Amino acid sequence: MKVHNLAEQNSILNQFISEIRDTQIQKDSMRFRRNIERIGEVLGYELSKTLNYADKTVITPLGKKDTQLVKDKVVICSILRAGLPLHQGLLNYFDKAENGFISAYRKHENNADDFEVVVNYFASPSLDGKVLILTDPMLATGKTLENVLLGLKEYGVPKKIYIVSVIGAKPGLDYIEGIFPENTHLWIGAIDPELNARGYILPGIGDAGDLAYGQKL
């Protein structure tokens, strides 16, 4: 798996990432969602540089201009709930992409720290021969991505998988390395060192779904 960690270079992305971490700024959920969307736009722009392009001539009011446009067929598949604003950011740029949605949640028996990832809803177009952009905003343990990959098998074989994450934990990255095909690329805004006992990223941001859409029962 090739990891593209955008935190390795200084850019405006640092501002968006630091705002979603900041407990004061997090109180503004509209800003939180918009920052995740902006991160999706930046990651989408960066990954677009590695897609395949085809020649195209554009007719302008005053002449013609030769250019190159994205040739790959792109499917953006996102994991609910926290994946929604990241999905929107990617879709803002890849406006011709097809879309898929997957529901996943962590089932903690008797509120124990351990959990099982339940993935129970898939809505996806065919993935055959396409570039699959799989969003998982918080790549924590990697178990969600593992289950999602398994479930997506019945939708065909993508020619390439691009995982897009806002923040990941090193143990989660190591875990998915052994599960995803070798030609998978991970585009990520920051990598944090560890997980807490409940599988939250440290220092991370907290619960991305709650911060974007409010607390759940």
Q: Which of 127, 176, 201, 212 binds ligand URA (CB under 6 A)?
A: 201
- The answer to whether 80 and 105 have CB atoms below 8 angstroms apart is no
SS3 57: strand
Q: Is residue 140 part of the contact set for ligand URA (CB under 6 A)?
A: yes
Instruction: Give the residue among 185, 190, 207, 135 at the shortest CA–CA distance from 164.
Output: 135
Q: Which of 142, 208, 213, 214 binds ligand URA (CB under 6 A)?
A: 208
Q: Is residue 84 part of the contact set for ligand URA (CB under 6 A)?
A: no
Q: Is residue 207 part of the contact set for ligand URA (CB under 6 A)?
A: yes
The helix (run of H) or strand (run of E) holding residue 152 is helix 143-152
Q: Which stretch binds ligand URA (CB under 6 A): 56-64, 122-130, 152-160, 204-212?
A: 204-212
Least spacing, CB of residue 101 vs ligand URA, in Å? 17
Q: Which of 20, 82, 104, 176 binds ligand URA (CB under 6 A)?
A: 82
Q: Is residue 152 part of the contact set for ligand URA (CB under 6 A)?
A: no
Q: What is the Cα 33 distance to its own chain's centre? A: 14
The helix (run of H) or strand (run of E) holding residue 91 is helix 83-93
Compare residues 93 and 101 and give the one whose CB is closer to ligand URA: 101
Q: What is the Cα 178 distance to its own chain's centre? A: 19
Q: Give 25's contacts (C-beta < 8 A, 6+ positions apart).
A: 19, 31, 32
Least spacing, CB of residue 152 vs ligand URA, in Å? 20
Compare residues 73 and 87 and give the one whose CB is closer to ligand URA: 87
Q: What are phi and psi of 89, to 5 degrees?
A: -60, -45
Which residues form the interface with ligand URA (CB under 6 A)?
82, 138, 140, 200-201, 204, 207-209
